[in-house]
Amino acid sequence: GNSVTQMEGPVTLSEEAFLTINCTYTATGYPSLFWYVQYPGEGLQLLLKATKADDKGSNKGFEATYRKETTSFHLEKGSVQVSDSAVYFCALSPDSSYKLIFGSGTRLLVRP
C-alpha cells in the first residue's frame, strides 16, 4: 500500500543551524510529493512540492528533492529561524487516487 514515514520529533535546534527532516515513502507508480507545515494556531499550508523524479521543490529557504531510487523526499534548510518553529508533515498523493497520505509529523523547535 501507500504510506509515508518521517522522523519522529521533536527536533530542537539553535537559530541558524542546519535542518534535515527525513521522509521516506512507499507507493506504486509515480506519486506527487509534498511538505505541509502547521504553524502554532494555524491551519495546514503547503510548503513545497515535487511531482516527478529528481524534481526539487523549494520555498522560504526550504528544499526537498524527489528521489525515486531511495523513495525519499527529505526536507532541508541551511539556516533555521525561530519563526520556522512548527510541525512539518510529509505527504504523497498516489497517481491512482485523489487523496493525500500524510506522515505523522515532525515538530521543530528553534531556540534563539
Partner 1 sequence: DTGVSQNPRHKITKRGQNVTFRCDPISEHNRLYWYRQTLGQGPEFLTYFQNEAQLEKSRLLSDRFSAERPKGSFSTLEIQRTEQGDSAMYLCASSSLPPNRGEEAFFGQGTRLTVV
**Is the Cβ of residue 106 or residue 110 nearer to partner 1 in the bound state?**
106
Tell me if 31 sits within 8 A of 92, measured CB to CB: yes
Which spans of this chain sit near partner 1 (rule: CB under 8 A)?
4, 31-32, 34, 36, 42-46, 49, 51, 89, 91, 93-105
**Is the Cβ of residue 17 or residue 63 nearer to partner 1 in the bound state?**
63
- 103 to each of 5, 15, 79, 112, how far by Cα in Å? 5, 25, 24, 28
**Is the Cβ of residue 12 or residue 45 nearer to partner 1 in the bound state?**
45
Nearest distance in Å: CB 102, partner 1 = 3
Nearest distance in Å: CB 112, partner 1 = 26
Nearest distance in Å: CB 32, partner 1 = 5
Residue 75's Cβ-side half-sphere holds a number of Cα atoms within 13 Å equal to: 30
**Is the Cβ of residue 5 or residue 17 nearer to partner 1 in the bound state?**
5
Q: Is 53 helix (H, G, I), strand (E, B) or coil?
A: coil
Q: In whole angstroms, what is the distance from residue 16 CA to residue 38 CA?
A: 20
